[in-house]
Amino acid sequence: MPILTDQQRKFYEGTLEVTRQEVSDLKDQIEEELSKVKDRIADLQSALAASKQMHEAACNRLGIANDLDDEESDESS
């Protein structure tokens, strides 16, 4: 390993500190964005469940088969 001058050592030590902080900040940003995505997915799943319930109720009132049940069984196959 080559010998570093004091100036080179300070440069690389400074680089270590800056990049360590950048990595930490980026990890925090990733966690924040992931949390937002998870919340959005949960909201969409709730809306989907509510719409399916309303669709099922409408089918029942009309006395017809729930066509969404057929689509879901096709998608899971």
- Is the pTM here over 0.75, yes or no? no
Work out the average pLDDT over 11-39. 98
The pLDDT value recorded for residue 2 is 81
Structure confidence by residue, pLDDT tens digits, 30-75: 999 999 999 999 999 999 999 999 999 999 999 999 999 877 666 6
> How much is the pLDDT for 70?
72
**Domain-embedded: residue 36:** yes
pLDDT of residue 18 exceeding 90, the answer is yes
Q: What is the pLDDT of residue 36?
A: 98
What is the spatial distance between Cα 14 and Cα 4, in angstroms, rounded to a whole number? 14
Q: Is residue 16 in some structural domain?
A: no
Give me the number of domains the chain comprises: 1
Full residue range of the structural domain in which residue 42 is found: 24-76
